[in-house]
Amino acid sequence: MSLFAANLVLAILWGLTTENFSVMNLLIGYLVSLGVLVFVRRALGDSHYFRDITEVLALVWFFVKELFLANIRMARYTLSPLRKLRPGIVAVPMDFMTDAEITLLANLITLTPGTLSIDVSRDKRTLYVHVMDIADADAVRREIKHGFEARVLRAAR
Amino acid sequence: MKDIIVSLLLWAGAIFTLLGALGTLRMPDLYTRLQASTKAGTLGVSCIMVAAALHFMDLAVAVRAVLVVAFLFLTAPVAAHIIARAAHFTRVPLWSRNIIDELGDTRRNAKAADAPPPPESLVTEAGRAPDERRERS
Amino acid sequence: MSEIGATMLAWTLPAVMAALAIATALGIVRLIRGPSMPDHVVALDLIGTIFAGVITVYAIRVDEPVYIYASLVLGLVLFLGTVAIGYFLERRAAR
């Protein structure tokens, strides 16, 4: 976290020296100082921040990729006969998570292929998910639990 | 070159949006329709926004476009979640060929267990429901 | 190369507009037909989202970036409307 503060201070210094505080210039300053910090990271001895950035970027990339796949699969459902669908609502148990993490997980589930989060139980331990095509409810549960939940937790913590 | 990429992005956005609208019209019940409209709307408008950002090649426009895309990614699932929750709560019917409804099961169990249910018993019921189902099947 | 691109864009813009218009028409059919209240909301939400796209395509067509603000505002208002209706539906059912 202190490295993030250092990065921001360096970005503001960049804005001061170039006498330009537009968003673009500050963004350039942020990226330049990030590069500098990466360059001297061994001297600082704390690589937590860089790993976090990589994790968040990986999550964003994963989001976009899954959204494309979701649309392609949705198009296939739309154009094929309806009798092939086997929709249903499945309960997925969750680990203990903060509200922000649950929101992230629910959004991720809604934007990924064939799934839509509907409700969270009052104790925040169960997520109800609508699925377009269920072959095996337990397989769906396992996929969400080990695929998405693990990924969200890794990026958020 | 830039115009070609812009055109391709616009085409992608238009086709995904059109397919999503078709899905919204064709799907059999509210929840499946919601899946079609949420995903298509998000991706379609995002593609068009990125195309606009690329076309104008202007920082202020690019920041707004990224803002719109980020906003869509955050709000579209939340809106879908709210509507689906309200619909299930108000008992909008599921499709007749729906194979499983564990949320409805949990709600019925909680109601059958004791009326009116104290929060704790509802909580344990909700937590246990999937396991019970697994043993039964 | 840029010639080809400009021609392609000139053909793409009206075609994309037409595709979005068809999508809006499909949404309107669902809006009229939708049996339950949430169905109407879903259809309206979809139409609004498509309109945000239409505004952006129009902005590209007339080369006027100001219109992008309009789609930003439209997105905000749509979300608030959907949340309000969802909340209203649940409150009404709870009573």
pLDDT, tens only, C7-47: 888 888 999 999 999 999 999 999 998 788 888 988 999 99
Interchain proximity B31–A116, CB inside 8 Å: yes
Alpha helix stretches (DSSP H) within chain A: 2-18, 23-39, 41-44, 48-79, 99-111, 137-143, 150-156
For C28, other C-beta atoms within 10 Å of its C-beta total 16
Binning pLDDT at 50, 70 and 90, where does residue B122 land?
Answer: very low
Q: Say yes or no: domain C2-94 is CATH 1.10.760.
A: no
- pLDDT exceeding 90 applies to what percent of chain A? 0
Physical contact, A and C (3 or more Cβ pairs within 8 A): no
Interatomic CA distance for residues B50 and B36, integer angstroms: 21
CA distance C23 to chain B (A): 5
Beta pairing partners, A93: A126
Q: Are residues B81 and B129 in the same domain?
A: no
Interatomic CA distance for residues A27 and B62, integer angstroms: 13
Q: Are residues B55 and B117 in the same domain?
A: no
Put simply, whether B62 touches C (Cβ < 8 Å) is no
Interatomic CA distance for residues A60 and C35, integer angstroms: 37
Domain that holds residue B94: 2-99
Interchain proximity C72–B83, CB inside 8 Å: no
Q: Are residues B84 and B46 in the same domain?
A: yes
Q: Are residues B10 and B68 in the same domain?
A: yes
Q: What's the whole-number average pLDDT of chain C?
A: 88
Q: Are residues B77 and B129 in the same domain?
A: no
Contact assessment for residue B75 and residue A110, using Cβ atoms and an 8 Å cutoff = no
Contact assessment for residue A73 and residue A115, using Cβ atoms and an 8 Å cutoff = no
DSSP line for C72-94: HHHHHHHHHHHHHHHHHHHHHHH
Distances from the Cα of C28 to the Cα of A55, B103, C15, C62, angstroms = 42, 31, 20, 27
pLDDT at A47: 61
Put simply, whether B66 touches C (Cβ < 8 Å) is no
pLDDT digits (tens, 9 = 90+) for A71-109: 888 888 888 887 777 888 888 888 777 888 888 888 888
Q: Are residues B71 and B55 in the same domain?
A: yes
Structure ipTM: 0.86
- Sequence ranges of the domains in chain C: 2-94
Distances from the Cα of A151 to the Cα of A157, B52, B64, B74, angstroms = 10, 32, 29, 18
Interchain proximity C93–B90, CB inside 8 Å: yes
pLDDT digits (tens, 9 = 90+) for B21-77: 998 888 888 888 888 888 888 899 999 999 998 888 877 788 888 888 888 888 888
Q: Are residues B28 and B44 in the same domain?
A: yes
Q: Are residues B82 and B132 in the same domain?
A: no
Interatomic CA distance for residues B5 and B52, integer angstroms: 11
- Residues in B closer than 8 angstroms to C24, CB to CB, are 21
Q: Are residues B84 and B135 in the same domain?
A: no
Residue B135 or B57, more confident: B57
- Residues in C closer than 8 angstroms to B7, CB to CB, are 5, 8-9, 12
Q: Are residues B94 and B112 in the same domain?
A: no
Put simply, whether C14 touches B (Cβ < 8 Å) is no
- pLDDT exceeding 70 applies to what percent of chain B? 77
Tell me how many domains chain B contains. Answer: 2
